[in-house]
Chain A
């Protein structure tokens, strides 16, 4: 058990919809990272927050947004969903503000129909 909690585990929705993925980092960790894993793209870095502030942004679409709240949990919002957004979305956390995630959650599997 990594200590990182992601909800929901599975999400099925339709194109054009909007969803919110939630992540609670491991206790004591201040950094939260979001990654997208699809079959043809591997693990793609989306965004990194440290103690509520955005630290780095990767290949995150404009239709996607994220935030980290004062209690350190984070949400990834995906809007105007397209078929290509179907993927496994991982949240990871670490204690420091570096860019290396230490602990990954089990992921949210998003399926767009």
Chain B
């Protein structure tokens, strides 16, 4: 079945350091979504990637979709304490639903 794994599971960084989370799928994805969930909060949609090799930026966040459309990454430059949370990738599962990855929990140390 559909599997979307994220690494690392946890990441602690010093404020100002960069952070990257990787998402790997066992199957080719037609597209991929990224969400952020703050501690105690709900998932917030960040972006959707559709094209092979696509790169999108949102301020300090850079999202990439692999050439083979089986992996994706989210890179945050110069982390801030407001970046704390769990970052999920999500891709289409079977039967028209969204399959969430395992998530990477980011802690930023001031």
**Is residue A42 within 8 Å, beta carbon to beta carbon, of the partner chain?**
yes
Give the CA-CA distance A39 to B38 in the complex, in Å. 15
Q: Are B96 and A106 in contact (CB under 8 A)?
A: no
Residues on the A chain within 8 Å of B88, using CB: 42-43
Shortest beta-carbon distance from B106 to chain A in Å: 16
Contacting residue for A99 out of B42, B43, B44, B92, CB 8 A: B92
B99 within 8 A of A: yes
Q: Known: A42-B102, A43-B100. Contact between A103 and B95, CB under 8 A? A: no
Given contacts A102-B45, A106-B42, is CB(A55)–CB(B102) below 8 Å?
no
Given A43-B88, A90-B42, A104-B42, check contact A99 B103 (CB 8 Å).
no
Chain A residue, CB-CB nearest to B101:
A42
Question: Are A104 and B44 also in contact (CB < 8 A) when A42-B102, A42-B103, A43-B88 are?
Answer: yes
Asked if A101 is an interface residue, CB under 8 A from chain B, the answer is: yes
Chain A's closest residue to B44 (CB) is A104
Which chain A residues lie closer than 8 Å to B45 at the CB level?
Answer: 100-104
Q: Which 8 A-B pairs have the closest CB atoms?
A: A43-B100, A104-B42, A56-B96, A45-B97, A56-B97, A99-B96, A104-B43, A58-B97
15 CB contacts below 8 A, A to B, read A42-B101, A42-B102, A42-B103, A43-B88, A43-B90, A45-B97, A48-B96, A55-B96, A58-B97, A90-B43, A99-B92, A100-B48, A100-B98, A103-B45, A106-B42
- On A, residues with C-beta under 8 Å from B are 2, 33, 35, 42-45, 48, 55-58, 90, 92, 99-107
